[in-house]
């Protein structure tokens, strides 16, 4: 199962129960934790130097300029930037105290920014806010506590974990949890002075922060054009709209839904199928291949290989600080060495995959965005490689060539108590080299929704597809 959400649930069982206290550490203590972090990445992370070779230089820049003392909060910000340089969206770094009751706020859940935003082209627009702010919905943020919004976003993007060179993923991820990203990586004040523009008028207001419970409610009530559940509809007689919101909620249930959806599509003799995986951050590997089998026109290959860095965990010198899933003991049975690489040999997505019985063979259209990630991005990669239809929207959030995921190791940094969640499998898709593998699937029709479209509940991407069909 591959999804960012799943990683967070796994992390709960690897967290220590303690209240956050911004402890201060010596330079030697920080150096020791950073050395363990680097050792773990270079020895075991399958994505080390895969999409980027910046890790070592970023690490050295931080390591060589450490102050004599550093707080946990400042260490998190520095280490976060190091990990982000890997360009792997499945890798995470979190405090080990019991923060999940207030996730995604790690250090402060009582005075957080009192609004949610949509971000487009380095502009942040308020899409929902607490009444106390007195900032109108639709206002564009110019500054927060005298910090220009573009400089804030630059810091947040630099520290955002995402695959390869995919900017759309960073923009969508930061927008989705902007208040938390600001709290975790910028500052934690009691009050916020917001400079904003609305109806061509610039105004400034000072407001208190809100607690995480109020923020959760704001987020839930923020406008969205996408349904949060998998569903099928028929906007016109000749068109089917298949919304695949996730691949993780219920493996058997999703498979049954896919089966029933394609039975209905066949019964209606549909000739234009729209598959919408916007916001789908992944889940079970097999479901992506299973969905593609429903539209495949011929036999196809899905995974090319899965690389790992070692055959046995005892080969890792960071082992005293790490925890692994119980199945790790069986790894030697399924790993072989070929061309100086260790390859995992067992997966349902290896080998020739067959089109489903009564497969759909007519025209297909794919809708995607920067949150189309992990197994959803894998599905898109194969669909693109197989030339199975037209692609609309933003660049997909997962790399065309694959990702780093599978089973995870959790490395506990002994001094700061930070936890590095690190995937152990490098997944490589069996795709034709028709585009840069470090980028997400690129759209045939690039359509970027505006914040106004979102506030007006206007799905310009879907409208474009339907107009294209006409």
pLDDT (tens digit per residue) in 53-100: 999 999 999 999 999 999 999 999 999 999 999 999 999 999 876 545
CA separation for the pair 244, 248 (Å, rounded) = 11
Q: Is the dihedral of CA 16, 20, 23, 28 positive or negative?
A: positive
pLDDT in tens, the chain (470 residues): 665 545 554 444 444 334 456 789 999 999 999 999 999 999 999 999 999 999 999 999 999 999 999 999 999 999 999 999 999 999 999 987 654 567 899 988 899 999 999 999 999 999 999 978 889 999 999 999 999 999 999 999 999 999 999 999 999 999 999 999 999 999 999 999 999 999 999 999 999 999 999 999 999 999 999 999 999 999 999 999 999 999 999 999 999 999 999 999 999 999 999 999 999 999 999 999 999 999 999 999 999 999 999 999 999 999 999 999 988 888 889 999 999 999 999 999 999 999 999 999 999 999 999 999 999 999 999 999 999 999 999 999 999 999 999 999 999 999 999 999 999 999 999 999 999 999 999 999 999 999 999 999 999 999 999 999 97
- pLDDT (0 to 100) of residue 435: 97
- pLDDT (0 to 100) of residue 9: 46
Q: Is the dihedral of CA 24, 30, 34, 37 positive or negative?
A: negative
By three-state DSSP, how is residue 465 classified? Answer: helix
CA separation for the pair 93, 75 (Å, rounded) = 11
CA separation for the pair 386, 395 (Å, rounded) = 18
Contact call for residues 272 and 365 (beta carbons, < 8 A):
yes
Cα 27–chain centre separation: 32
CATH number of this structure's domain 231-318+328-405+425-469, picked from the four choices 3.90.226.10, 1.20.1250.20, 3.90.1150.10, 3.30.365.10: 3.90.226.10
Report how far apart the first and last C-alpha atoms of the chain are (Å, whole number).
38
- pLDDT (0 to 100) of residue 327: 84
By three-state DSSP, how is residue 126 classified? Answer: strand
The token pair at 241 is 């709209």
CA separation for the pair 358, 31 (Å, rounded) = 60
Contact call for residues 295 and 385 (beta carbons, < 8 A):
no
H helix or E strand, kind and range, residue 117:
strand 115-120
How deeply is 450 buried, as exposed, middle or buried, from its count of CB atoms within 10 A (0-12, 13-18, 19+)?
A: middle
| Longest CA–CA separation in the chain, Å | 70
The token pair at 267 is 């019964």
DSSP string, 64-81: TT--SEEEHHHHHHHHHH
Q: What are the pLDDT digits (tens) for 190-224? A: 999 999 999 999 999 999 999 999 999 999 999 99
Q: Which of 82, 50, 54, 93 is nearest to 307 (CA)?
A: 50
Q: What are the pLDDT digits (tens) for 380-423? A: 999 999 999 999 999 999 999 999 999 999 999 999 999 999 99
User: Taking the model in full, what pTM does it have?
Assistant: 0.94
């Amino acid at each position: 199962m591959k999804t960012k959400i799943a990683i967070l649930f796994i992390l709960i069982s690897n967290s220590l129960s303690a209240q956050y206290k911004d402890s201060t550490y010596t330079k030697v203590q920080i150096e020791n934790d950073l050395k363990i972090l680097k050792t773990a990445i270079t020895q075991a992370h399958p994505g080390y130097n895969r999409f980027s070779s910046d890790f070592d230089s970023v690490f050295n820049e931080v390591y060589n300029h450490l102050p004599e003392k550093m707080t946990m909060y400042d260490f998190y910000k520095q280490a976060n930037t190091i990990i982000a340089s890997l360009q792997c969206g499945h890798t995470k770094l979190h405090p080990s105290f019991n923060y999940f009751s207030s996730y995604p706020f790690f250090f402060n859940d009582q005075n957080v920014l009192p609004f949610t935003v949509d971000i487009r082209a380095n502009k942040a627009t308020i899409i929902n806010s607490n009444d106390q702010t007195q900032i109108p919905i639709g206002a564009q943020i110019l500054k927060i506590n005298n910090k220009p919004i573009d400089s804030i976003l630059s810091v947040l993007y630099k520290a955002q974990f995402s695959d390869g060179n995919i900017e759309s993923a960073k923009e969508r991820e930061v927008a989705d949890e902007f208040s938390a990203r600001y709290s975790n990586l910028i500052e934690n004040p009691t009050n916020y002075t917001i400079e904003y523009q609305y109806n061509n008028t610039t105004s400034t207001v000072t407001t208190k922060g809100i607690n995480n419970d109020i923020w959760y409610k704001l987020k839930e009530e923020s406008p969205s054009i996408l349904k949060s559940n998998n569903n099928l509809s028929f906007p016109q007689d000749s068109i089917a709209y298949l919304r695949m919101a996730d691949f993780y909620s219920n493996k058997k249930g999703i498979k049954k839904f896919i089966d029933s959806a394609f039975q209905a599509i066949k019964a209606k003799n549909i000739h234009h199928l729209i598959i919408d995986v916007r916001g789908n951050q992944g889940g079970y590997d097999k479901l992506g291949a299973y969905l593609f089998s429903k539209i495949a026109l011929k036999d196809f290959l899905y995974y090319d290989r899965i690389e790992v860095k070692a055959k046995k965990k005892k080969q890792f010198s960071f082992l005293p600080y790490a925890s692994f899933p119980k199945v790790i003991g069986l790894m030697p049975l399924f790993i072989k060495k070929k061309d100086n690489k260790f390859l995992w040999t067992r997966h349902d997505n290896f080998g020739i995959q067959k089109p489903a019985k009564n497969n759909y063979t007519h025209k297909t259209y794919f809708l995607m965005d920067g949150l189309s990630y992990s197994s959803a991005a894998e599905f898109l990669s194969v669909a693109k490689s197989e030339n199975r239809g037209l692609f609309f929207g933003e660049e997909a959030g997962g790399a065309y060539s694959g990702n780093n995921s599978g089973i995870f190791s959790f490395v506990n940094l002994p001094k700061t108590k930070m936890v590095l969640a690190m995937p152990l499998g490098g997944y490589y898709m069996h795709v034709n080299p028709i585009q840069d593998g470090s980028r997400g699937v690129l759209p045939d029709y690039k359509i970027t929704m505006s914040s106004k479209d979102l506030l007006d509940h206007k799905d310009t991407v879907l409208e474009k597809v339907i107009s294209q069909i006409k």
